[in-house]
Amino acid sequence: MPTFTQILHRTYSESPDSVAVHLLQNKQPDLPITYRDLIHGAAGYARALEQASVQPGEVVVLILQHGEALISAFFGAVLHGAIPSIMPFLTEKLSPDRYRADLAALIEIIRPAAIVTYPEFVPEVQSAINSAASHPVRAVLVSTEVGSAEPDFATLAGLSRSEEDIVLLQHSSGTTGLQKGVALSQRAVTHQLEKYVAAIRLSPQDVIVSWLPLYHDMGLIAGFVMPILTRTPLVLMSPFDWVRAPYKLLQAVSQYRGTLTWLPNFAYNFCAQKIRDRDLEGVDLSSWRAVINCSEPTHWKSHHAFLERFQSRRLRPDALATCYAMAENVFAVTQGGIGEPVTVDEVDQRALLTERRARPSIVGDGSLKLLSAGRPLAGMQVRVLDDQRRDLPERQLGEIAIKSECMLTGYFNRDDLTAQAFYDGWYLTGDLGYLVNGEVYVTGRKKDLIIVGGKNVYPQDLERLAGEVPGVHPGRVVAFGVFDEDAGTEEVVIVAEADTEDDSERQRLADEIRQAVTRGSDVALRQAHVVGPQWLLKTSSGKIARLANRDKYLAAMEDGG
Amino acid sequence: MSDEVTTQLAGYITTKILKQPKRVLKDDEPLISSGLIDSFHLVDLALFVEDTFGVHLDDSELNRETFDSLAQLAGIIRQRRG
């Protein structure tokens, strides 16, 4: 199997003038980037990394917003044989102190040789480097000082990388997420692309349109690496722009005759609810052959709302598709809804909760419509296991375990976490689901992870932030997710114990918790509840029991609490 | 300075966005830089402003540089209503 650099080399000689990326820019005309532009930009970074004496196999952290520099720097690291790792950029709400602390933690764990950023962000990066306990960072490259260059493929270090070498790192944010840098080999990624291209029947007629962030597996693989390496034109907009103007995604699909897009579930609701008719004038979505719901639990109602809203703009009902994916498998494990509609399984809601069994519902009452995530890609194996890790029969809920040729090499510099993640060669996903007729249904999480708007959020990070608020009992805080049907994703709830009985004092504490969590994490927290001592349930070992407290909270809410 | 515009804005933000109807919003309280209004709700706010006051906020204006408080947003609305 060819490596990334070999693929780029071939593309450079075969179709340098094809447009690789149509970059949508705010208030400026779209910028077409040909393969020649892309590879010249990347070669400039490869040269700069070499001059900074970064060695092949070392990590380069990229702190850049969606744009040309990020594209060039990512593939520049690849051409140099270094390992690019994209760090989410500072957002307007995030506390700079907290961001710096996260960056320092990332530097300590991942031990990058170089960091690439904008000139105005260099002081921030320097202070994070200085606050790290120890660090191997030898260079901070400034994006505006790196020019483009003619590549000399004979001397590019990327060309001598082997299939087994790590080609990129991918991680989610927060203290816990940063510990788990998913290291992926050239072989794992090219294997995934080969199988996924077949599953979605990718052809030269396809055009991919994406607004997804590149620090997340769905955006990085489906919305960046795959189109560029397979020579599928990519129309790329920034998540920052999309969230303020979701209609631009639909206009881009119409204008570029886009055929494929990946979205997290909440985006179906977001687009259906927040786009005005006048912004859809002239928009024709008939070219969209698959809109693939991925990266957080999928919901039938979200698909339904999206279709209702955009059918008049010629959205094809059979375009709605699903996928089950995770960074540890590079990306997709299953794919549904290509060439046939997504299977809908109507099950008895009560049996699902009490018997952990997806029993087909006989009467419509109390039934739940679940979307199939489709069938495993060729060469991928999926099992559903009970707590003793024995295979469960069809329709019985258990933990999903997977095995494939595109699994991660490991969590970078964290062999201990890698070992914990596997059982007998099977990766334990922490997701709950069941199987029917070879199709996979994902129903929830076994682990405590919360998925908000497609992003993984670790409750322990949020609990730590809330526990730092003076007046809150340290260690007496719980964070969990509750599904918000209107938004189509989970909403985070924090319950914290405090001694005060005074209502206004509790309000003030709740406000401080909201502020601390919002400014310290990816989550904009609304639901903070302050309760009295001994409210929270603990496990027999004295730990706060997240699921039990979630149930207690939901019951209290139902009682009008 | 509180007036009808700020009162309506505050009412919408506390009930629909924050879902805490009892929350009191000060006129100069930071809304965006504090994360009180997250990026997912900026579009809602723009739609509300247009429907209620007939004032269009461009998506490129939905950031803290353009407005970060009730007073600043109300100022833009009053100015554009002429």
Q: B24 contacts in A (CB within 8 Å)?
A: none
**Domain co-membership, A55 together with A117:** yes
- Tens of pLDDT, residues A164-194: 999 999 987 777 788 889 999 999 999 999 9
CATH number of the domain to which A154 belongs: 3.40.50.12780
Tokens of A320: 């709605």
> How many domains does chain A fold into?
3
CATH number of the domain to which A523 belongs: 3.30.300.30
**Domain co-membership, A152 together with A46:** yes
- Tens of pLDDT, residues A229-262: 999 999 999 999 999 999 999 999 999 999 999 9
CB-CB under 8 Å, A243 with B42: yes
- How far apart CA A343 and CA A303 sit, in angstroms, is 12
In A, minimum Cα distance to B64 occurs at A92
B75 to chain A, closest Cα gap in Å? 21
* Boundary residue ending a domain (A145, A180, A215): A180
**Domain co-membership, A72 together with A169:** yes
Tokens of A69: 């520099």
Check if B39 contacts A (Cβ < 8 Å): yes
Check if A543 contacts B (Cβ < 8 Å): no
Residue A206 has pLDDT above 90, yes or no: yes
Q: Please compute the mean of the pLDDT values over residues A319-324 and round it to a whole number.
A: 98
**Domain co-membership, A405 together with A354:** yes
pLDDT for A560 equals 66
In a domain, A210, yes or no: no
pLDDT for A422 equals 95
**Domain co-membership, A428 together with A495:** no
Of A20-29, A439-448, B41-50, which range is least confident? A439-448
Grade residue A385 by pLDDT with cuts at 50, 70 and 90.
very high
Grade residue A323 by pLDDT with cuts at 50, 70 and 90.
very high
* Boundary residue ending a domain (A159, A180, A201): A180
In B, minimum Cα distance to A248 occurs at B59
pLDDT for A362 equals 81
Grade residue A132 by pLDDT with cuts at 50, 70 and 90.
confident
**Domain co-membership, A147 together with A54:** yes
Nearest to A214 by CA among A56, A379, A86: A86
- How far apart CA A487 and CA A26 sit, in angstroms, is 26
- Tens of pLDDT, residues A35-70: 999 999 999 999 999 999 999 999 999 999 999 999
Where do the domains of chain B lie? 4-81
Residue A467 has pLDDT above 70, yes or no: yes
**Domain co-membership, A428 together with A455:** no
Residue A561 has pLDDT above 80, yes or no: no
- Tens of pLDDT, residues A255-292: 999 999 999 999 999 999 999 999 999 999 999 999 99
In this complex, which of A93, A245, A453 lies closest to B35 when CB atoms are compared?
A93
**Domain co-membership, A393 together with A534:** no
In a domain, A419, yes or no: yes
Ranked by mean pLDDT, the top range of A309-313, A517-521, A525-529, A555-559 is: A309-313
Q: A530 contacts in B (CB within 8 Å)?
A: none
CATH number of the domain to which A425 belongs: 2.30.38.10
**Domain co-membership, A432 together with A470:** no
- How far apart CA A449 and CA A442 sit, in angstroms, is 14
In this complex, which of A92, A270, A274 lies closest to B32 when CB atoms are compared?
A92
CB-CB under 8 Å, B19 with A91: no
- How far apart CA B35 and CA A518 sit, in angstroms, is 6
**Domain co-membership, A455 together with A365:** no
Residues 6 or more apart in contact with residue A316 via CB below 8 angstroms? A285, A286, A288, A289
DSSP lists the bridge partners of residue B50 as none
* Boundary residue ending a domain (A156, A180, A204): A180
What's the domain range around A170? 1-9+33-180
Cβ(A410)–Cβ(A179) below 8 Å:
no
Share of chain A above pLDDT 90, in %: 84
CB-CB under 8 Å, B39 with A243: yes
**Domain co-membership, A160 together with A143:** yes
Q: Which homologous superfamily is B4-81 in? A: ACP-like (1.10.1200.10)
pLDDT for A364 equals 67
Check if B40 contacts A (Cβ < 8 Å): yes
pLDDT for B3 equals 87
In a domain, A495, yes or no: yes
pLDDT for A381 equals 98
pLDDT for B10 equals 96
**Domain co-membership, A62 together with A4:** yes
- How far apart CA A294 and CA A326 sit, in angstroms, is 9
pLDDT for A438 equals 97
Check if B38 contacts A (Cβ < 8 Å): yes
Grade residue A542 by pLDDT with cuts at 50, 70 and 90.
confident
Cβ(A262)–Cβ(A324) below 8 Å:
no
Determine the residue among B17, B18, B20 to mutate to test chain A binding: the one whose Cβ has the most chain A Cβ atoms within 10 Å. B20
